[in-house]
């Protein structure tokens, strides 16, 4: 089963509007972290926002907020007041805390959502 699911291969939004990028995850680990990264066409991976599984409040970083619904296992990224420079691929990722001698400290990524901001 996929650990991270991003169901929107592509999204379009008008400049200055808000947009929500969906992410659902699957884990039995009670402690985990959820991350969003942005990958512009230039290729670099830019960290945007983090949410811990025990955090009571939704994370916010400037125009980015994370809508964390633990019971539904979703961690949607909300970008407010979209800008042309927000056009990029967006990846949701999870890191599980339990260390069982394997590779559980890795980030597991979704397939990404390509966001296009129209002027």
Residue with smaller CB distance to another protein, 38 or 86: 38
Q: Which pair of structure tokens corresponds to residue 83? A: 């800008």
CB of 56 to another protein, least distance (A): 14
* Beta-strand pair 74-79/10-14: unpaired
Residue with smaller CB distance to another protein, 13 or 32: 32
Q: Does 111 bind another protein (CB under 8 A)?
A: yes
To which residue do tokens 């200055």 refer? 16
Q: Which of residues 12-71 bind another protein (CB under 8 A)?
A: 29, 31-33, 35, 37, 43-47, 50, 52-53
Phi, psi of 42 (to 5 degrees): -70, -15
Beta bridge pairs of residue 89: 39, 114
Q: Which pair of structure tokens corresponds to residue 22? A: 């969906």
Q: Which residues make up the interface to another protein (CB under 8 A)?
A: 29, 31-33, 35, 37, 43-47, 50, 52-53, 91, 93, 95-97, 99, 102-109, 111-112
């Amino acid at each position: 089963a996929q650990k991270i699911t991003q169901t929107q291969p592509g999204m379009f939004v008008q400049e200055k509007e808000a947009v929500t990028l969906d992410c659902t995850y699957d884990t039995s680990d009670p402690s985990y972290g959820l991350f969003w990264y942005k990958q512009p066409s230039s290729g670099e991976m830019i960290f945007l926002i983090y949410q811990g599984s025990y955090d009571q409040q939704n994370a916010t970083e400037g125009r980015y907020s994370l809508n964390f619904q633990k019971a539904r296992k979703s961690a949607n990224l909300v970008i407010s007041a979209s800008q042309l420079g927000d056009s990029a691929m967006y990846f949701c990722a999870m890191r599980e805390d339990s260390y069982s001698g394997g590779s559980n400290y890795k980030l597991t990524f979704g397939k990404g959502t390509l966001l296009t901001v129209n002027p």
